[in-house]
A = this chain, B = another copy of it.
């Protein structure tokens, strides 16, 4: 099977089934209904508060082969996944599928659970650290399913990812399960990725270290969707939330690229009142935001909203009136956690609302511009943020493909090479985001515009910006050393699903290099 990116992919994948080839960003017309969970009854007087996680396991009961879901808002400070899997191991449960929205280095103990057979499958959007390395080397018999943030919501809502038990890390909850991430000693802010799980899982467990009197308000997930509440000593360490660099890059080359990216947005005609914007949390992204901010201030432009992944620089722009609103699916630092708890213009949104392609319009559809990163980008503008060029998994789409598909202007900002490794390449090792949805690549050597966007090329030329053909940038990237060619085994260790559920690529088990 060959998909629309020209990737040769298996038609059937063991333990996954028949694949549907990626056919284009908007090619899929769903013929689906929302997943319809069983209706249950909780009468007056019934208690939801359980004494321990083990009690919850026995009460449901959690059995071999079930799918347990978790969300990653505590990021590299998360304490819930490790605690729950330890209980599962202790109780002798085996063959679990872990549907964890993102996997971080702190989840290293999962490697042992994989080895011992407690965990036999993984469903995620982003995978880094020891679990990623183990998976890349074939530790799991079943291939990991890697989705986008919007694609994960889509899969849950459409019944394609069936969750037996969802564990929600509740920074605060009452004894009836009204819960939030916004307050409490382990507050982490928005809990957007957990909402679909809570809506559609067979059982929903609020796991908390901060039980408050009934009724908790404001409510992020309501009592009507929570079966049990259990208290543990700690749900994690919010200090581990901080993602990426929190400091703007000082590298002159990267600062130049950031300025160029801001100029691209400007030349595209988007920096007017109502401007909407998303970016990541890396040092270069932060620099782009500063240049965008400067232009907005110079012009007296007031943006409508920033979306994300919210960081302190966006909060500063909200607070000084440069954006009217922040739409927040997860906080990227503790400033975001504080802001969402107090500022009514800082709105929590679900992953469904953020980026699900199969609903009545998600927020990425309303983005003017998104700034994206790339581990690799090829001459068709396809982006790899899933694996290194060594084939080892060290990321995943997260919201990358979603925002690229939705935004009027999706800009990848990347140097043409990183040390000896070319970043602009003939063909990405793993395709995460299709080039069809990328409008421009900004590098230290100039800007390449997707040929699909002749209108954008015209505008950038008119603004006197340095336009290059992407093949030239690729040539510059390759000039010093030809890239090593990666050899892999045939076996797919991970399936890369596009946001609509089609197969955009697979990650094959790593082997040798030449």
Contacting A44 at CB < 8 Å: which of B44, B223, B365? B365
Contacting A344 at CB < 8 Å: which of B218, B362, B363? B218
Interface size on A, residues (CB 8 A): 64
Contact A36 B36 (CB under 8 A): yes
Contacts of A223 in B (CB 8 A): 353, 360-363
By beta carbon, the residue of chain B nearest A32 is B39
CB neighbors of B among A18-56 (8 A): 26, 29-30, 32-46, 48
In the assembled complex, the Cα of A260 lies from the Cα of B26 at a distance in Å of 67
Q: Which segment, of A78-86, A224-232, A246-254, faces chain B?
A: A224-232
**Residue A280 is within 8 A (CB to CB) of chain B in the complex:** no
Contact A224 B362 (CB under 8 A): yes
In the assembled complex, the Cα of A274 lies from the Cα of B215 at a distance in Å of 10
The proximity string for A residues 352-366 relative to B, scoring 1 for CB distances below 8 Å and 0 otherwise, is: 110011111111111
Contacts of A227 in B (CB 8 A): 360
**Residue A222 is within 8 A (CB to CB) of chain B in the complex:** yes
In the assembled complex, the Cα of A364 lies from the Cα of B223 at a distance in Å of 12
Known contacts A213-B324, A324-B213, A352-B224; A40 and B365 CB within 8 A of each other? no
Contacts of A324 in B (CB 8 A): 213
Shortest Cβ distance from A505 into chain B, in angstroms? 23
**Residue A106 is within 8 A (CB to CB) of chain B in the complex:** no
Contacts of A259 in B (CB 8 A): none
Shortest Cβ distance from A193 into chain B, in angstroms? 15
Contact A344 B217 (CB under 8 A): yes
Contacts of A353 in B (CB 8 A): 222-224
In the assembled complex, the Cα of A227 lies from the Cα of B218 at a distance in Å of 27
**Residue A176 is within 8 A (CB to CB) of chain B in the complex:** yes
By beta carbon, the residue of chain B nearest A343 is B217
Contacting A37 at CB < 8 Å: which of B33, B37, B214, B344? B33
Known contacts A44-B406, A224-B361, A406-B44; A33 and B36 CB within 8 A of each other? yes
**Residue A305 is within 8 A (CB to CB) of chain B in the complex:** yes
Contacts of A344 in B (CB 8 A): 217-218
Most chain B Cβ neighbours within 10 Å, of A38, A177, A217, A407 = A217
Shortest Cβ distance from A358 into chain B, in angstroms? 5
In the assembled complex, the Cα of A127 lies from the Cα of B223 at a distance in Å of 30
Number of copies: 2
**Residue A304 is within 8 A (CB to CB) of chain B in the complex:** yes
The proximity string for A residues 101-137 relative to B, scoring 1 for CB distances below 8 Å and 0 otherwise, is: 0000000000000000000000000000000000000
Shortest Cβ distance from A229 into chain B, in angstroms? 11
By beta carbon, the residue of chain B nearest A223 is B361
Contact B215 A39 (CB under 8 A): no
Contact A217 B345 (CB under 8 A): yes
By beta carbon, the residue of chain B nearest A35 is B36
**Residue A75 is within 8 A (CB to CB) of chain B in the complex:** no
The proximity string for A residues 328-347 relative to B, scoring 1 for CB distances below 8 Å and 0 otherwise, is: 00000000000000001101
Contact A42 B359 (CB under 8 A): yes
Contact B158 A39 (CB under 8 A): yes
In the assembled complex, the Cα of A45 lies from the Cα of B405 at a distance in Å of 12
Contact A224 B406 (CB under 8 A): no
Known contacts A215-B327, A304-B215; A361 and B33 CB within 8 A of each other? no
Contacts of A349 in B (CB 8 A): 219, 222
By beta carbon, the residue of chain B nearest A274 is B213
Contacts of A345 in B (CB 8 A): 217
Contacting A366 at CB < 8 Å: which of B26, B214, B352, B360? B214
Give me the 8 closest cross-chain CB pairs, A-B, nearest first.
A42-B361, A36-B36, A33-B36, A217-B347, A44-B365, A224-B359, A32-B39, A34-B36
Given contacts A39-B157, A42-B360, A217-B347, 6 further A-B pairs with CB under 8 A are A26-B43, A41-B357, A41-B358, A215-B305, A217-B327, A223-B361
